[in-house]
Amino acid sequence: VRDITYTLIYPAYTERKNEIVPNSTGDLRVLQGTRVQLHTNTLIPATDASLLITGPEPQELKLSVMDGSSLKGEFTALEPQRFRFQLTTPDGNQVIERVERVVDILSDQTPRVSFVGNTQKRIVYPQDILSLRYEAHDDYGISAVDLVVNRKDTEYPPIRHRIETPKRTKKLANKAPLVIQDLSLFPGENVTCWLEVLDNNSLQESPQKGRSASIQLTMHSDRNQHQVILTDHQALIESMIVLLA
């Protein structure tokens, strides 16, 4: 066949415009889920034509033949694959081209999210309302951001709070509020919190998820604070003894 013209119809969630790739030798690199429409002309007359596709699930895709030489067809690129054209000439002979054309798949990237600023362990008090700064990124769009608090030393399940997020945004810088009183923590209790971000990939069984590093929070305890003071005083006394000696 001669050079191929491709029309790439990207998945709806990407909101990308259709793209025309003219005069292609055949090899493609496309995002997973892209519909590929092809048009080419044969070098010899043909009454029938198909694509012989090799990959995880080999198949034969019938093409429409017009005027004995113009071929059109469509397939959806889900897995890496190769294909060749097969033609049936007017005298009934089948001709299979020797060259295989390659379709490589570009994967949708996993979304990323991270806390910004101080992520060290911190002591919190019942009246505290934390404002945790974060940044999130995705190549085609963020659908949701959750703040998760895990009371790991208790029988309580993790607490999830959905953060209001603008629709169809690819880059986000925001603050996640955390009302400590709402967690009902015990004095001295340690919890970890992190962020989870979901993309808007509608081709997967569920959106892809990214997770931030964790921050450890400890509820203030008078007893623990007293122990810290005693430890600091003991360390100071030992230092003075060394200096006097």
* pLDDT value of position 136: 97
* Contact predicate 129/180, CB 8 Å: yes
Closest by Cα among 149, 156, 131, 223 to 191 = 149
108-166 residue pLDDT tens? 999 999 999 878 889 999 999 999 999 999 999 999 999 999 988 778 889 999 998 88
* Contact predicate 195/148, CB 8 Å: yes
From the number of C-beta atoms within 10 Å of its C-beta (0-12, 13-18, 19+), residue 100 rates as: middle
Q: Which stretches of the chain score pLDDT less than 70?
A: 222-238, 240-242, 244-245
Please state, in angstroms and rounded to a whole number, the distance separating the CA atoms of residues 220 and 76.
57
* pLDDT value of position 237: 59
* pLDDT value of position 167: 81
Closest by Cα among 212, 199, 200, 187 to 132 = 212
* pLDDT value of position 191: 94
Rounded to an integer, what is the distance from CA 95 to the centroid of its chain?
43
* Contact predicate 154/140, CB 8 Å: no
* Contact predicate 38/53, CB 8 Å: no
Q: Give the type of residue at 60.
A: E
From the number of C-beta atoms within 10 Å of its C-beta (0-12, 13-18, 19+), residue 219 rates as: buried
